[in-house]
């Protein structure tokens, strides 16, 4: 199973640039998690809605041109699956109208799988937005734990909008205490790990430096690699032995984020 997660910063934009086509052609994932799709299905092209290779599921925000998530699933993979279901709900989600959760579940030989593409709030717009971000963090962790109790494999991929450790951003001292590197956000990642989940890439690359997934476009930060590692795969710690490869596809252009790939 090969999964890629990517904050595309506008799905129609990366299609116009030919970049999403390039990604699926080069990497051939079984599943593609998308964040910040910034559109509704009726606005998308045939390639993005009636693809010959992928079944495509979207959860759009009510607000036009904002947020939203999706999951593409290879049709030949789904043919092996039973009980396929697409859901968009997290209990007591404070930002339920922003399209932040895409949840695809299925069974293979009576084993349940839960795949979640999540776009976590930035939280910087207002005090209310900050409070909602922290609540969303807690609701998602509770949901992750509930799904795991069900006995299946749970894989969460997406833009978490938080750098966990100093090693996860280029300028930790300058950003200490700011949103994206705030103690309360970082403490949430601590809680995720204490609950038996892994930041899978960091677990495989414990002290690796200068690897990021987001760069500010206005300052051309990508050219200087002044970035943040805020895109993750979280999975139960039992999954680590199944990880064949995990890498950031830093050469992929088209967005202010680069994709992250995991192969199990």
Query: Where in the sequence numbering do the catalytic residues fall?
Result: 159
As a whole number of angstroms, the distance between CA 141 and CA 13 comes to 31
- Asked if 48 and 15 touch (Cβ cutoff 8 Å), the reply is yes
Q: Is 108 exposed, middle or buried (0-12, 13-18, 19+ CB in 10 A)?
A: middle
The residues that bridge with 82 in the sheet, in sequence order, are: 107
Distances (CA, A) of 73 to 20, 85, 228: 14, 12, 28
> Considering Cα of 180, then 184, then 189, then 192, what sign does the dihedral take?
negative
Give me 2's structure tokens.
């090969």
């Amino acid at each position: 199973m090969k999964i890629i997660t990517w904050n595309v910063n506008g799905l129609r934009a990366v299609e116009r640039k030919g970049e999403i086509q390039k990604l699926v052609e080069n990497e051939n994932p079984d599943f593609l998690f998308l964040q910040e799709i910034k559109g509704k299905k009726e606005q998308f092209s045939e390639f993005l809605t009636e693809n010959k290779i992928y079944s495509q599921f979207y959860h759009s925000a009510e607000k036009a041109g904002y947020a939203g998530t999706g999951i593409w699933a290879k049709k030949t993979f789904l043919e092996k699956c039973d009980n396929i279901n697409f859901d968009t709900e997290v209990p007591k989600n404070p930002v339920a109208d922003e399209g932040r959760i895409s949840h695809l579940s299925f069974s293979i030989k009576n084993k349940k799988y839960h795949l979640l593409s999540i776009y976590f709030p930035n939280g910087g717009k207002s005090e209310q937005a900050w409070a909602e971000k922290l609540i969303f963090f807690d609701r998602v962790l509770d949901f992750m734990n509930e799904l795991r109790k069900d006995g299946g494999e749970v894989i969460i991929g997406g833009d978490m909008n938080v750098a966990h450790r100093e090693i996860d951003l280029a300028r930790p001292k300058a950003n200490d205490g700011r949103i994206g590197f705030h103690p309360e956000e970082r403490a949430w990642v601590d809680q995720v790990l204490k609950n038996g989940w892994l930041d899978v890439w960091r677990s495989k690359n414990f002290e690796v430096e200068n690897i990021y997934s987001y760069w500010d476009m206005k300052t051309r930060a990508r050219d200087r690699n002044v970035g943040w590692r805020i895109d993750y795969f979280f999975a139960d710690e039992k999954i680590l032995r199944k990880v064949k490869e995990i890498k950031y596809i830093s050469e992929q252009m088209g967005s202010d984020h680069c994709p992250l790939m995991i192969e199990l």
